[in-house]
């Protein structure tokens, strides 16, 4: 069934090529297509395009279809083009002429936009919840390990004292920056396109504010052309947010892969969370984090891929947009898995509490000793040269005492402030 059919069948090869993966991917939109249609027909009844009795039977049947979707009993038939066609076909089969009335005042263009925006809102909410779980784990680890020193590095060279509290907290706060982009993606999706039809509105007296309220949208895409132009733009905004989160996870995974190696030995995990070698019995490989790193590096290509598909398209609908689902839908599942597994692994991490006792890390404390001399009245440059001379002559003996007090330092992690920042940025989505 094709909603656009005028009695002439499309060439089979053309049909297969144009339908693509829609029958598979549109199942993710099925629930939202029904919810959008329910709001639309309520609005149609309010403006006199449906009788109350027709609305009642349509809503009752849509509840049945919604239950079939929730129970996993819904399919898009092999000869049906997409989710919109399948829903209308089922209503027409079950209710006759009344089922044919639901499409008045809309196009598949605004119908799929509604489905996608509702779907994206829900997926963004799920990602935000998973991100918040990981954030909570990181802040808890930060506080629990606030006194445990670890080496800080620049240029892969031993630099200055850090701490596990500072390291875990850094990734927690990095997620708060990613939450800004996720909030922007949510706001972009939280606008109602229904009633823009094919992109130029309708001669029916549609009540678009009513459908926006029924569907829980914050506002409208007021201009009908702008509503259609949001196709691709919403996906790109979401893609940028996902890429930012993936960037944070990739860097965290990279750190852990490095810190798990025997040359560092900063962190470890239970044997059952690592993998081994077929010939080297000592191996405990960080395969989980290597895969998270690889998957998240790939996810960082999302904005570019989405942009390339939609670049240089003039206003109005184009079939190119169909490909965005093939790019974005699997990526959403991938990111959610990476967030969940990162949290699971970190809940089982063990940190090395005596790393900096090793003489290998004596030079970590040179800046501390320079600063002590400065506080005692020695000019900074003179203190710097003196400690540098001791290091070169191998006579340097570090004072391992640490006294950092400023905001965001080893001794003042500002965890509560970081938590407030995250709560503020996620409150629109989940809090």
Per the annotation, the verdict on 155 as an active-site residue is yes
Q: Are 38 and 44 in contact (CB under 8 A)?
A: no
Give the whole-angstrom CA distance, residue 104 versus residue 91: 14
Alpha carbons within 13 angstroms on the beta-carbon side of residue 295 total 23
Q: Could you please report the per-residue DSSP string of 70-96?
A: HTT-----TT--SHHHHHHHHHHHHHG
Q: What 3 state SS string does 335-400 have?
A: HHHHHHHHHHHHCCCEECCCHHHCHHHHHHHHHHHHHHHHHCCCCHHHHHHHHHHHHHCCCCCCCC
- CB-based contacts of 309, cutoff 8 Å, min separation 6: 232, 320, 321, 323, 324, 327
Give the whole-angstrom CA distance, residue 115 versus residue 109: 10
Burial class, 393, CB count within 10 angstroms (exposed 0-12 / middle 13-18 / buried 19+): exposed
Helical residues (DSSP H) of 190-223, grouped into ranges: 208-215
Among the options 277, 315, 403, 417, which is catalytic? 277
Sign for the CA dihedral angle at 130, 136, 137, 138 comes to positive
User: Which positions are catalytic?
Assistant: 155, 277
């Amino acid at each position: 069934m094709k909603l656009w059919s005028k009695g002439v069948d499309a060439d089979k090869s053309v049909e297969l090529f144009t339908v693509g993966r829609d029958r598979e991917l549109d199942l993710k939109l099925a629930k939202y297509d029904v919810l959008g249609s329910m709001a639309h027909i309520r609005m149609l009844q309010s403006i006199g395009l449906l009788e109350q009795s027709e609305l009642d039977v349509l809503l009752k049947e849509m509840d049945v279809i919604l239950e079939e979707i929730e129970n996993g009993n819904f399919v898009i038939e092999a000869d049906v083009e997409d989710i919109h066609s399948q829903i209308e076909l089922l209503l027409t089969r079950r209710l006759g002429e009344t089922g044919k009335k639901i499409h008045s005042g809309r196009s598949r263009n605004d119908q799929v936009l509604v489905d996608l925006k509702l779907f994206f809102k829900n997926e963004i909410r799920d990602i935000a919840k998973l991100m918040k779980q990981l954030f909570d784990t990181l802040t808890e680890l930060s506080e629990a390990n606030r006194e445990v020193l670890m080496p800080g590095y620049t240029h892969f060279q031993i630099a200055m004292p850090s701490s596990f509290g500072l390291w875990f907290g850094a990734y927690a706060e990095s997620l708060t920056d990613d939450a800004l982009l996720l909030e922007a993606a949510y706001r972009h999706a939280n606008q109602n396109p229904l009633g823009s039809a094919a992109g130029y509105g309708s001669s029916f007296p549609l009540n678009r504010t009513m459908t926006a309220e029924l569907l829980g949208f914050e506002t409208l895409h007021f201009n009908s052309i702008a509503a259609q132009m949001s196709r691709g733009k919403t996906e790109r905004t979401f893609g940028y947010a996902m890429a930012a989160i993936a960037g944070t996870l990739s860097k965290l995974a990279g750190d852990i892969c490095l810190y798990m190696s025997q040359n560092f030995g900063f962190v470890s995990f239970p044997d059952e969370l690592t993998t081994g070698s077929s010939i080297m019995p000592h191996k405990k490989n960080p395969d989980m984090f290597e895969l998270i790193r690889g998957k998240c590096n790939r996810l960082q290509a999302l904005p570019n891929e989405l942009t390339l598909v939609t670049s240089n398209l003039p206003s109005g609908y184009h079939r190119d947009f169909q490909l965005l689902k093939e790019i974005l839908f699997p990526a959403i599942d991938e990111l959610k898995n990476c967030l969940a597994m990162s949290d699971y692994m970190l809940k089982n991490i063990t940190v090395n509490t005596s790393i900096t006792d090793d003489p290998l890390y004596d030079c970590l404390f040179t800046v501390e000793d320079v600063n002590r001399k400065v506080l005692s009245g020695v000019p900074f440059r003179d203190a710097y040269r003196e400690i540098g001379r001791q290091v070169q002559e191998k006579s340097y003996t570090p004072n391992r005492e640490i006294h950092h007090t400023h905001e965001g330092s080893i001794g003042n992690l500002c965890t509560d402030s970081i938590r407030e920042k995250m709560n503020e940025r996620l409150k629109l989505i989940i809090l």
